[in-house]
Amino acid sequence: MVTKYRQRASLGLNLTPLIDIIFLLLVFFMLTAHFVEERALDVELPTSEANTLDIKKPQVEIIIGTKGQVLVNGLQVPINSLEKALRQILHSPGPKTVRLRGDRTTNLELAVQAMDAARRAGARSLDIMTQKP
């Protein structure tokens, strides 16, 4: 008499393929993520009690350093070609607001030149960045 033994189906769930796919997705996203290091000047913003700027809006950023360096969206630009650089950015689709950030010891003349260049380039509004005390 021959007896046949039935093999019972395993009721457990094999999670190994699922874990493999999760690790592959994790590696994929880690390799494709862009970790952008902003090139900026070390500026100490002036203080202001009324700080109501909406940071979430896309804007063009002008940074004026203590030694007269001018950066537009992270790229250094000479002050005499600032209007041309702003005009190229502002006439393309996208933000029309300019954000001016400068050190508290920045020459006021450079800030005024930057504001004039932004207005002539077609900026709809100009925000001056400050920090709360």
pTM exceeds cut of 0.85:
no
Q: Which pLDDT does position 8 carry in this prediction?
A: 67
Q: How far apart are CA 9 and CA 25, in angstroms?
A: 31
Q: Which pLDDT does position 82 carry in this prediction?
A: 86
Q: Count CB atoms within 10 A of the CB of residue 70.
A: 23
Residue with tokens 């992270």: 74
89 alpha-carbon distance from chain centroid? 16
Q: What is the mean pLDDT of each run of 10 residues along the chain (133 residues)?
A: 66 86 92 68 63 60 85 86 86 78 81 87 81 66
How many angstroms separate the Cα of 106 from the Cα of each of 14, 27, 34, 69, 113? 64, 45, 32, 10, 12
Number of alpha carbons in the 13 Å side-chain half-sphere of residue 56? 0
Domains plus CATH for the chain?
A: 60-128 (3.30.420.270)
